[in-house]
Each structure stands twice: as C-alpha cells, then as structure tokens.
Amino acid sequence: MSRIRARFWDPTGRHYGLPTWPWRMAPPHLLTRRQLTAAGLRPGGQGVQGQVLWASRRYRARGGVRAAYLYDVRFALPKRTATVRQRAALAKANAARRTCPHCQRDAGYVLPRHLGLCLDCADRREMERAA
Ligand SMILES: [Zn+2]
C-alpha cells in the first residue's frame, strides 16, 4: 500500500472519527448516496457509516482532501414510490392544468400560462378582437 493510501486507511475510525478508507478501498456493503440511488435505494434514516477520503489538488482550500460519505446497504430501504392516492391527486392536478377555463375541454396539453386558455379559444379571442 502506498503512503498516500495508508494516510486514509482507518477502518475503525480511531483517527478520523468515522471509519475511513482510501478511494476504491471501502468494503462493498458501504455505498455512497449516489450509488444507493442507482440501485433504487435510499439511506433510510441511518446516519453516515463511513467515508472515503482522497487527495484532490482542486480542493486545496479544504486541505486538499475530499470526502464521500458512505451508507450501509443492509440498512437501506427501497426508494419511496407514490401511493395510489398520491398518483390520483397528481393526475387530477395535471388534468386541471390541461383544462381550458373557457370551453371546459381537456386540451390535451398544459395550457400556456400567458394565455390561460386553450390555443383554439385564444385564437378565437384574437380573431374577435381583430374584427
Ligand atoms: Zn378553450
């Protein structure tokens, strides 16, 4: 192991206060939030279980060390999906955004905010004004 790697090798957390591994050396059950998300998971209320530290020249302001926090995949939970009622409420809200207040029809698209009407009604209004 190189000297730089040894610097971040602290699986017990005695030195860093958190179990710490060098880049690519963390045990496989510890994942970053991004890795959890990619696997369809979320931390699920658990705190940070460890960290990966690596030297980065671009982060000289913070001592040149970057950290990625790790969560235990065994405590992770599936990502929340909307309930049937939540989905129904969303569908209703979206339908309202597509419904023209003038002709009461579902235009099939979200009404342009600046018109507040479906395009047919907006055209008709425009022609009436011009007449
Ligand atoms: Zn309309």
pLDDT in tens, 44-84: 999 999 999 998 888 777 678 899 999 999 999 998 887 88
pLDDT of residue 2: 58
Mean pLDDT across the chain: 90
Between CA 58 and CA 66 the distance in angstroms is: 9
Q: Which residues surround ligand 1, an ion (CB under 5 A)?
A: 100, 102-103, 118, 121
Domain boundaries, the chain: 3-78, 84-130
Residues 117 and 125: beta-carbon distance below 8 Å: yes
Give residue 106 CA to ligand 1 midpoint distance, Å: 8
Tokens of 90: 């969303």
